[in-house]
Amino acid sequence: MMKRSLLALLAVTLVTLTGCATLKKLFKRPTVSFKTARLSSASLSDATVDLVYEVRNPNSFGLSLAKVDYAFFVEGKQVVAGAPRKGLNLKKNGTSELVFPANVRFADIAPVVQTFLNKDAAAYKAQGSIGIETPVGVLSFPLSKEGTFEVPKIPKVLFEAPRIANISLTGATVEFPLTITNRNSFPLPVAALSGALKVAGANVGTLSTGNLGLLDGGGAKQVTLPLQINFAQAAQAATALRSNNAQQLSWNGQVTSGNQSLPLSLSQLVNFRR
Asked if the domains 29-150 and 156-270 are classified in one and the same CATH topology, the answer is yes
Q: CA 237, CA 221: separation in Å to the nearest integer? A: 28
pTM of the model as a whole: 0.82
Check if CATH label 2.60.40.10 holds for domain 29-150.
yes
Residue spans of the domains in the chain: they are 29-150, 156-270
CB 9, CB 2: distance < 8 Å: no
What pLDDT digit, counting tens, does each position of 155-164 carry? 999 999 999 9
Per-residue pLDDT tens digits of the chain, which is 274 residues long: 555 555 444 444 444 444 456 667 789 999 999 999 999 999 999 999 999 999 999 999 999 999 999 999 999 999 999 888 766 789 999 999 999 999 999 999 999 999 999 999 999 999 999 999 999 999 999 999 999 999 999 999 999 999 999 999 999 999 999 999 999 999 999 999 999 999 999 999 999 999 999 999 999 999 999 999 999 988 899 888 988 889 999 999 999 999 999 999 999 999 999 8
**CATH class, 156-270 region:** mainly beta
Query: Which distant-in-sequence residues (6+ apart) come within 8 Å of 42 by Cβ?
Result: 48, 152, 184, 186, 187, 188
